[in-house]
A and B are shown apart, each in its own frame.
Chain A
Amino acid sequence: MDTFVQQLINGLTIGAIYALIALGYTMVYGILRLINFAHGDIYMVGAFVGYFLAFQLGFAAGPSLLGLTVVLIGSMIAAALVGMAIERFAYRPIRKYPRMTTLITAIGVSLLIENLFVAKLGAAPRAFPQLLREQSYTLFGNAAISKSQILIFAVSVLLMVLLQWVIFKTKVGTAMRAVSFNLNSAKLMGINTDFIISFTFALGSALAAAAGVLTAQYNPQIDPLMGIITGLKAFVAAVLGGIGNIPGAVLGGLLIGLAETFVVGYGQNVGVPTTFRDAVAFAILILVLLFRPTGLLGSTVQEKV
């Protein structure tokens, strides 16, 4: 029972990270029908911006709440700018082109960011400075929750509530929903679609950067290729929940996180080696897509002639 609660906590921690990244995938897909493969790299960029901010501003010396807040918000703003730049220079010129072209461009952007960071900073992992005094609290007997896990839950819930508010209660959010419903009609209704798309990229990138800094607190090792597999799993989470669907992304993220942790924790009892942790996300995805091709919460689109 104790280990079960422990696994649950760990799974939800990773799941919350996946959910934050998945939100960016799902929002961009909802609006542009584009798989933004560079999104996982934005998560990495966020972690690295946080790393350099912490050192440049002197927060790396010791844990402080101010340092954490500044680093978190700073990296979110920087990543939002990077996301907007990517949209402006790589995706906007090809928006009307065939699907395959936009996809290859997205892969190209992803490769560009990864290789630029590897060439500039080297591929070796770096230790992220501790901005939070690590401490564990026991609950339910032996299960423990660390401060960084609480931080991940708190910040991700806060950001998700904030996102929900932006999308459903503000004018920009209404415009975002209109654009995702039909881009051309939205344009006819006087919505500045270019601005809305740019804003969506900024929002998604900021969430990914937050995930990057939060992960770096939980597991303080960052490297330029950390975004590849995490990004891919977050994307799987988005598809699992029903891509384009915001609650779906969160649900998918949490499910993938839990499944992964349980495979590592209990898989050996049923003959599944721990190395299958990366495969389980895909296995779930395939099973779900075969029975519900639009994901768990996605709505079916009727194909018309």
Chain B
Amino acid sequence: MPTLVKRLLAALVIVLLLIVMNQFMSKEGLFGIGVPSYFARLIVLAGINIILAVSLNLITGVTGQFSIGHAGFMAVGAYSSAYLTVYYAGGWEHSLATLVGASFAHVLIFLLAILVGSIVAALAGLIVGIPSLRLRGDYLAIVTLGFAEIIRIVILNIDKVGGATGFTVPGYANFLWVYAFAIITIVVVYNIVHSDIGRALVSIREDELAAEAMGINTTRYKVLAFVISSALAGMAGVLAAHYLSFLSTNDFQFIRSFEIIIMIVLGGMGSLTGAVLGAIIITFLPELLRTLGPKLESLLGLIIGANNIPASVHNFLNQLANYRLVIFAALLILIMLTRPQGILGTREFSLSWLKRAQRRPEGDKPVGESGVSIAEQGPPSAIDRTKEMENR
């Protein structure tokens, strides 16, 4: 079978799978089996976080340019698309519906909103990226943080998009939309990383001076990666806006950018699957901690009898939910202390790991498409090179 047909077939299977899964994401579900709305919501939020983490990974993990402004670009995408859907989409959808039918018109309008959000975010990325990518390391981080805060405060002062009171947006997005675009994001970033552009980006991360000496136009590639990353963040913003149906600039503070950085560092910088893993963990962990106390108590109750639990233990376990963010922060520090390269390091999770475990080969590497990441040969601590350089 030709590759193109193969790929189209794979895409079709994925889309069908997503459509089926989408049916389960409601209370009624399919055949009476449905995911509770609380979990369905978390799953969708995890999808949005996957887009954010994978896109930030392109500029921070792969290219080694430290950005703390991702939430800003997300906000740009969210608000620009919401402006479109709130003020114009109704009329356009109506006139389109007479041409192509109501449901298809709806899909087209939302696709347009996603496109607009991504393009505006890409433009914002270009405007921020060109001047600031001349800076390095911590300075770049601070400037991106500054730009993101400025973006947020500017949006806060536009009354047309709600200002401080928030902005109500039609709820177009659902599980299917979010995960379809999460998969598109992963495919796009994977292809970029494994192309000649990706090689150039990795070389910039490993040693910018050497890359420049080899004839790579480092500024051009850095801006390119930054713009793509911003566009994808904008896309996540569009999906988040139209899933949550409500926008508040408070959701785009720098703490949100930190959250995305934490995802990619936790998963392993430069690892695509690591970013996905990190996004999932960071979405679910605080929520799991919320129910940890009662669960531990019922477990304890099974062992020593529900009535034998001392009152102090009972109180402690019930208080645990209040401390969930404390536990979360402590876990984060603990992981950094014990496994600073993140869960996967720069490696990619792949099925060939399982094959390798079965075959137990001596010395030879498994022949997997994605078994060996291009970054594997390089030292994992590329970022502290800058420090070395400063110490000299």
A100-119: CB near B (< 8 Å → 1, else 0) gives 11011101110110011011
| Chain B residue, CB-CB nearest to A298 | B139
A94 touches B337 (CB 8 A): yes
User: Interface segment, A147-155, A189-197, A278-286?
Assistant: A278-286
B178 CB to nearest A CB, Å? 26
| Chain A residue, CB-CB nearest to B253 | A228
A224 CB to nearest B CB, Å? 12
The yes or no answer to A304 lying at the interface (CB within 8 A) is yes
Interface residues of B in 306-356 (CB under 8 A from A): 322-323, 325-326, 328-330, 332-333, 336-337, 340-341
A276 touches B157 (CB 8 A): yes
Q: A101-B336, A119-B325 are in contact. List 11 more A-B contacts (CB 8 A).
A: A29-B138, A108-B330, A109-B333, A116-B326, A119-B323, A279-B149, A279-B150, A279-B154, A289-B132, A289-B143, A293-B135
Take A282-B149, A293-B139, A304-B389 as given contacts and tell me if A111 and B157 are in contact as well, using a CB distance cutoff of 8 Å: no
A100 touches B265 (CB 8 A): yes
The yes or no answer to B362 lying at the interface (CB within 8 A) is no
A119 touches B326 (CB 8 A): yes
How many chain A residues touch B (Cβ–Cβ < 8 Å)?
49
Residues of B within 8 A of A116 (CB): 323, 326
Interface residues of B (CB under 8 A from A): 60, 66, 131-132, 134-135, 137-139, 141-143, 145-147, 149-150, 153-154, 156-157, 209-210, 254-255, 258, 261-262, 265, 269, 322-323, 325-326, 328-330, 332-333, 336-337, 340-341, 380-384, 386-387, 389-392
| A interface SS class | helix
The yes or no answer to A184 lying at the interface (CB within 8 A) is yes
Residues of B within 8 A of A56 (CB): none
Residues of B within 8 A of A118 (CB): 325
Residues of B within 8 A of A303 (CB): 209, 389
Complex partner residue of B383 from A94, A100, A107, CB under 8 angstroms: A100
27 contacts between A and B (CB under 8 A): A33-B138, A33-B390, A35-B141, A90-B333, A94-B337, A94-B340, A97-B384, A98-B383, A99-B384, A100-B269, A101-B336, A103-B141, A104-B261, A109-B333, A112-B326, A112-B333, A115-B328, A183-B391, A235-B142, A273-B157, A278-B149, A279-B149, A282-B146, A282-B149, A289-B135, A290-B132, A304-B392
B322 CB to nearest A CB, Å? 5
| Chain B residue, CB-CB nearest to A35 | B138
B66 touches A100 (CB 8 A): yes
B139 touches A279 (CB 8 A): no
B131 CB to nearest A CB, Å? 5
Residues of B within 8 A of A135 (CB): none
A150-193: CB near B (< 8 Å → 1, else 0) gives 00000000000000000000000000000000111000000000
